[in-house]
Amino acid sequence: MVEREPGGAGHRQEAPAEPRLSCALVVGADGALGRAVAAWFLGHGWAVVGTYRNEARRQEAAAVLDVRSSGAAGRRLRWVKADLRRAAGAERAVAAGLRWQGRIDAAVHTAGLFATEAVVGGSWATWESMLETNVRTAFELAQAVVPPMREAGGGSLVLVAARAAARAGRGMGAYAAAKSALIRLGEALADELAGSGVRVNVLAPSVIDTPANRAAMPGASREGWRTPEELAAMIGWLALPEAASVHGQLLLA
Ligand SMILES: NC(=O)c1ccc[n+]([C@@H]2O[C@H](COP(=O)([O-])OP(=O)(O)OC[C@H]3O[C@@H](n4cnc5c(N)ncnc54)[C@H](OP(=O)(O)O)[C@@H]3O)[C@@H](O)[C@H]2O)c1
């Protein structure tokens, strides 16, 4: 738009107002899956708010993301230091997206923690930490992000559980219980939000092909492992208009 400057002699082209970008909040954007999710959204032109807790890990992820997105990360990615086990952390992350782009169109919860421990001789502290990191973080995210999404008329919330939730094998009790609880949280939330435009889906991957898993299982066959990129593409697709009818689903990947 060209506007005449009041009282001015000539014309001056006003800088056009920045158009609002679709905005994704990625919890744990410095993690193996989280950074692939951030890369997917950046690659599709979205603004991304990524949460992190550790500065060294954030810097490493930021460098990778900048290369993968041909420098777009510098312009369309903002980081927020936030521990989602606390309401204040979730609120800070959501507020950053709202201040920047006016709404959050997609929120992706990739925060997670894995541990193996026998039940007998094990510690309740392990169960507590599994529940705090895998479930409470999603609970706090939902408290903070659902009201503004609902007010804006919609959005996509994706929670990342695990296929291991289906049945706990030896040593997997605390982790599988926490991921089961996360799936139940997603189901209840999806029913609560039916018809609101806010869509909630849970992705349950098998083993993800991450550097940490390659190091932990050096001799293992990687058949059936999922790459972070293929999972990120599923998560990203869930935020698109094409997925408007996908709500309350558990996607086994
Ligand atoms: N890797 C697998 O094979 C596999 C298989 C099935 C499901 N999953 C699930 O997939 C998700 C991603 O896995 P991943 O391999 O990418 O894990 P990852 O590399 O460890 O990434 C997890 C991310 O969550 C963040 N996080 C942890 N606690 C948090 C908290 N309290 N508040 C905010 N952020 C927090 C981590 O930050 P910090 O670095 O600060 O802890 C990290 O950025 C997890 O939910 C995991 O359980 C993984």
Q: Could you list the mean pLDDT of each consecutive 10-residue stretch along the chain, which spans 253 residues?
A: 33 64 98 98 97 98 90 90 98 98 98 98 98 98 98 98 97 98 98 98 98 96 97 98 98 98
Per-residue model confidence (pLDDT) at position 17: 66
Ligand 1 within 6 A of CB of 162: yes
Q: Are 229 and 36 in contact (CB under 8 A)?
A: yes
- CB under 8 Å to 115, separation ≥6 — which residues? 126, 129, 130, 174, 175
Ligand 1 within 6 A of CB of 205: yes
d(CA 160, CA 205): 8
Structure tokens at 162: 């695990």
d(CA 170, CA 22): 43
Identify the burial level of 93 via C-beta atoms within 10 angstroms of its C-beta, where 0-12 means exposed, 13-18 middle and 19 or more buried.
Answer: buried
d(CA 227, CA 221): 14
Ligand 1 within 6 A of CB of 210: yes
Structural domains of the chain in order of their starting residue, each with its CATH number: 20-252 (3.40.50.720)
Per-residue model confidence (pLDDT) at position 4: 31
d(CA 50, CA 30): 8
Predicted structure pTM score = 0.94
Q: What is the dihedral of CA 28, 215, 70, 40, to 10 degrees?
A: -50
- CB under 8 Å to 175, separation ≥6 — which residues? 114, 115, 116, 130, 134, 162, 164, 168
Structure tokens at 45: 């032109």
Per-residue model confidence (pLDDT) at position 149: 98
Q: Whose CA is nearest to atom 8 of ligand 1?
A: 162
Residue of 134, 208, 214, 229 with the most ligand 1 atoms within 8 Å of its CB, for mutation? 208
Ligand 1 within 6 A of CB of 160: yes
Per-residue model confidence (pLDDT) at position 105: 98
Q: Whose CA is nearest to atom 6 of ligand 1?
A: 162
Greatest CA separation for the chain:
84
Which one, of 97, 91, 131, 89, lies nearest residue 112 by Cα? 131
Looking from the CA of residue 209, the nearest atom of ligand 1 is 3
